[in-house]
Structure 1
Amino acid sequence: MSEVETVVVGAGLAGLTCALQLAGHRREVLLLEARDVAGGRTSSWEERGMPVDSGLHRVLGCGTELPRLLRRAGMSLDEVVYWEDELEFRTPGGTRAVLGASPLYNPLRTLLGPLVSWDLLAPWDLASLVPFLTAGVARYLADPDGLDRFSLSAFARRWRVTDTAVGNLLVPASAGVFFLPPSRYSAANFFGLLVPALPGIHRTRVGAFRGGMTEVLADPLVAAIRARGGEVRTGTEVLGVRMDLGAAAPEVTGVDTAAGTVGARHVVVATDPGNAQRLLAPLARHPWFRRLLSAPTTPAVTVQFELDRPALPVDRTTFGPGTVLAAFSEQSRTTFPHAEGRLSVILEEPERFLAASEDEIAKTVIADAARIGLDLDRHLLRHRVVRYPHDFLSLEPGHLADRPSQHTPVRGLVLAGDYTRQRWLSTMEGAVLSGELAFQELEQT
């Protein structure tokens, strides 16, 4: 049995952040990743000859955690991200609107776009959002768990948001980010994204990755960890966390892998929530873990099309309210420049697609894409589907309290991941911040 001071389980952004901090502070750390590539839910790989990634990810310029992480590794955000700074909306009713998404870098379209896109949002629709947003921010700051009793649509009705504003803004905002319609999406999760962004709202931007996420983001972080003396092993699945539950105070003793047992004083579980529930199952009778281990999760399903020409004239994030295309983007000029055409689509209400075949999913998406002016069928070369059955802890009302802290009552056991309690819920920023908080927890022991 090998021995190490700290094992970090999972090489997503949370695990990479924690391991980089430990290695940078000369702490002995072993980072284990089950898959052959690093990055977790921000990863990329080749699947049956086609380059794919884990889903359509976008970076918001108002965050501070990811840029700080990259600087620690000797990178800058501009090296990793191509800034689009626009959002497009397409509806089956024929609405086409392009709005700016950067007050600082694209001010005219950002400030004036909603005023000239009357078919998307009329002035009275915009006005109806003001009391809703004001009340939501105040309620989240004062009582987030109380706000979590409302769905986003119920809270919007309470504040008399117009049906058009709900359909053309709140539907794509909820479905495009977390794949659920506003009737199933907690108002606390919505404002949990908005509130942390407010201090840097003037810096808001929308950025696409300049290549596969493992290539441009995860692998450089792995290299930085190794350069500081940390060890990273991919293709090494952790089968279980070893714990002494019979002691007066339960404590971790290491992890079991297919290659053998690794003893450790500290174990950081930095996986997605589904794998965290699996690894922590022996603690099901412990009252502190009971809520986390019984919490429902939210899946994600992405379909990625390679085409013989671009599906859209510009690479930018696009929303398709009223279709299964929650959010999508042409990526042949940014993330996948090898392709003549490349469209990645996040599906709304992904539960219905978890058991469907790839061809069934593609057929459904192609049909709905035609309703919003995209001709995919005649130009399709190949497609791949990526499914994550447990992408997030449930984002539906009533589950905010399921989120655990990084600190646990088991000595040596620390949690990290965007599902844990921190100010950036269920985001890349949240994953990085949770990894930083996990490191700080370890520093105190």
Structure 2
Amino acid sequence: MSHSPNQAILLTSSLHVDDARKAIAALVEDLIEESKTINDPADVETAALDQAINRILAADLLSPIDVPAADNSAMDGFAFDGKCLDTNSTAITLRVVGTALAGKPFEGSIGPGECLKIMTGAVMPAGCDTVIPQEFTSAKDENVIEFKQDQLRPGENRRLRGEDLKKGKPAIAAGRLLRPSDLGLAASLGIASLPVKRKLKVAILSSGDELCAPGQALDAGSIYDSNRYSLTGLLNRLNLEIIDCGIVHDDPVSLKQAFIEAASKADVLISSGGVSVGEADFTKQIMQELGDVGFWKIAMRPGRPMAFGVLKPVSGKFPARKTLFFGLPGNPVAVMVTFYQFVRAALLQLNGANQTEPPLTQAIAEAPIRKKPGRTEFQRAILGRGADGKPTVLLTGSQGAGILRSMSEANCFVILAHEQGNVAAGDWVDIALFDGLL
């Protein structure tokens, strides 16, 4: 493989977040190229519209019709031939000869000096190319309207056939992570199902002798495993198939067997715990036996230690795909931050999405934020709005990597760049919203 993650083991200093992201994207691209040689028809399937949310569109969706299907009115008003606007008179008087409703076209035609009362979306009748909004007219009697000539130009307030979308043209490009508006667009074209990429199978596990499943009694020194439940929620946002491999004890035999079993079932394996300096020695050994995995120190907070790479295909597994592997830190907040920063984009890329990075926006810091240059920080915060209407952001208290409450109370990350130092109250900062992302 041309982009070996094991190169990262040789680094003596922490890896820049952007460099880590690029290395992961390059390795995922290698996996995509390798998978093309498998040519597995099961990689694409058909999903009904009500089951297609957050799936990846597998092929361009071509419109089977013109949109709109006919010239129609852009608003409620009166349709007429715009040629009458070329006269020298200051006011136009027209006789109303009928009504056109959306879904109920007027069957006749409109002659000189005549108009048609028309509703938004109604088909424009023969002889009409212009619509005067109803509020710009006055009634001279029950069937005659009048309006000033300078209130519009010929052709205004008419939607042309195919103006939004021509028949045979792409309505949605392949690779789109399908959103509610995309499903509505497909439905508006009369399409009931869509070709989508197969759901990635993602295995998750937590490692650590101290971990206990929720609902069980805690032994002395034990803690409840929260990471698998956070990861399940994060993965469900992407509509992926989740394989929960549970809690694995901190011993080489159990961990190796768990990795082998997960790799036999999944496209991606995400583990949490066991990657910090001093506790990952046997994990490194196992990974070197099973695949090509590097252990990284990343210049970020939280989430400094992380493992990344691929596990070799398991004997007898078909198709014989390699399994993408992420070894995330054990701290609950660090798990969610590293998923946000690295795993989410890699999953979308591997599944064929053409847009993998979440959008950023900005807000004004309500209070000072301490920050050391030389690392990227992801502070948990609440986005609000000041008295002047401008967006403001305030941290959710202590930002320790083990304080999951800082994530639960937050609705966004404040992202402080690698070179950035302390932030003063009133400074603009980059933020990424949780909604629709986490």
Range into which the TM-score falls when normalised by the shorter chain: under 0.3
The answer to which structure, 1 or 2, has the higher relative contact order (CA under 8 A, 6+ apart) is 1
Structure number with greater Rg is: 2
TM-score, normalization: structure 1? Answer: 0.21
Structure with greater proportional helix content: 1
Structure with greater proportional strand content: 2
TM-score, normalization: structure 2? Answer: 0.21
